Amino acid sequence: MPRRETLTQSRIDARRKFGFGPSEAPSHSAGHGNRPPPRQPPPRYNFDGALEILGKAGASESVKRVYQQKLNEIVCACKLSIHVEDEETPACKAEAFQRAVLWERRRQRALACIRSLWPWDELLNELLDTLPADLHAWPYRENIERALAQSLVEHLKETGVWPKVEEAVRILRNRDCLPAALEQEAARLQSKTEGRSLESAFIELRDRYRGKSRPGLNESRALRNTIHALQAFASGVNEKFHWGERRSPPELIPFLLAVLDAAKIKHPSYEASPDRFRSLMLGHRERLPKALATSDFVPLE
């Protein structure tokens, strides 16, 4: 089984392929290497079969486009939710903070190498004096260090120091970084204790998320929420798709299957396990302890 890629800011930016988020690249990504591309248009799916089941195959083209757009938004939100649930488990966050510990140690070694051969601190302090005080703390300070290392490349190449600091400068310029939300979490924890090292904050957060992780599969609500949204859409478009007393409309399940299959969203087979599929159409029964419930889960930005 291939190793899961570490949760970094670049993976958060990659979610823009689902068509959500601001149209321009987020400002916090500017200091994290190459600026990510603008938001991409969401993929388009053909829901003509589902609209035919709804009895809207003969609607005008403008009305059908509105229905297609709404169904497209529902399934894209489902795929994004599945993506987020898979990436943002406590175990993934613990692994990200473990990697951050290694990145911070590598960064400190690179800074020590440069300091031994070049007046790095003097140049950095001169640059910090021109900036507001709230930008002196991590993670903004790290972005400033990255910019300073970039600006010194040409000057260092003209001196005999460059061969000795080339690897250190490369580390400062190209180091991976945590998602912005996890960076802020570590910065808040570090600021609570004066003089606390960033590495110790990473270690505490790593251990905290390790304690929250559980063996086995994590419960997913993306598919259930999507099926509920599709049922609400169908009942709003056609009154015949309203639920009766403890009975679903006869064509509701074919409509749900048509949408999910058109968008290639994995789901339980209705033919093989109808009860399992029907359970997704009903209200959720809470099985997890309240402390582990994910109804208030907010994805990283």
Q: Is the pLDDT of residue 217 over 80?
A: no
Between these two residues, 216 and 184, which has the higher pLDDT value? 184
pLDDT in tens, 56-108: 888 899 999 999 999 999 998 898 888 888 888 898 999 999 999 999 899 88
Every domain of the chain and the residues it spans = 42-89+218-292, 90-212
The backbone region for 177, taken as left when phi is positive above 0, alpha when psi lies in -120 to 50, beta otherwise, is beta
pLDDT in tens, 3-27: 567 888 887 877 777 766 555 544 4
Q: Which of 119, 116, 113 is nearest to 155 (CA)?
A: 119
